[in-house]
Chains A and B, each alone.
Chain A
Amino acid sequence: MAKKLRILIAKPGLDGHDRGAKVIARALRDAGMEVIYTGLRQTPEMIAEAALQEDVDAIGLSILSGAHMALVPRVLELLKAQGQAGLPVLLGGIIPDEDIPALRQLGVSAIFGPGTTTDTVVAAFTQAVRHDAS
């Protein structure tokens, strides 16, 4: 059996809807990946725990609330603490341009704003996982 990519799509924080996350989950599914979707209002602890138990190849975080500078570093810190330091983390949602360099510096593999096509996102996940494996 060929290895299937397993991706965790998670929404940390207090966003009110998850339409974007579902579109991404669906696109990754259609690209043949197995997507674990955990629903709205996850804490960083819940996300790290799910990433460990599910042994995913990458995590996609969706944040619309503006709390990304608090939530993303916390997720990365928890992943590191549990021995998953190199796990690719991709970010989508409403992320102001001025925050992007700092997030990339922290180790976020890719950042997507409104208007990104699903093809771009699928390609970025595939590339991030391949980069991680090599």
Chain B
Amino acid sequence: MPVVTIASPKGGAGKSTAAVILGTELAHAGAAVTMIDCDPNRSLTLWSDQGDIPPRIQVLSDVGESDLIKTVKQHDQDGSIVIIDLEGVASRLVSRAISQADLVITPMRGTTLDATIGVRALQLVAEEEEALDRSIPHAVVFTMTRNIRSKQHNGIEASLREQGVDIIDPSLIERAAFAALFEFGGDLRTIPPQGNMETAQANAQGFAEAVYARLRGEAGESAA
């Protein structure tokens, strides 16, 4: 089963939020999901401790550099989609997690700082593709976006597209419901209402469907 690595050396880019949204939406759609928490800040573990873990999801905590590959190998074969959440830092653990991925997702806010640092993850993917002599599908998802996008965001997105980077559509919009997942645990169907839950669920589902299409090889082949 496929392994999705959520990677960016930039902290606060929305990696753990993207991981929880993706994991809970895929599980809601019927998939078994194993979420591997490799972040020393234990964001996924904090989420899983806040409430009942939704059906079909298991969370593995405190997985480090020495046991990541063994853990992925074990769960890659047990029929579940594996999602790896990493710390926002340029570490060897990140490069190893990328080597095991069927899809690398780099969350990025639409700011120059996020783009400048986030692009390092894309450069690392390219380097590993060359070193390992195989293609590693990868995509960027913009996070914490607003309905009216800034010029900066539009410019960054256009620049990435020009370079052949696969951009996941829809982006993850800044929503109270997404932040509340870490307050209440569970998923977007079990937390107390936070703003417009229907649009939050539609946004999350749209994101998960776009990732699912890439895991089926139906979308998102980058031109690079």
Q: Do A and B bind each other?
A: no
B residues sitting closer than 8 Å to A (CB atoms) are: none
A residues sitting closer than 8 Å to B (CB atoms) are: none
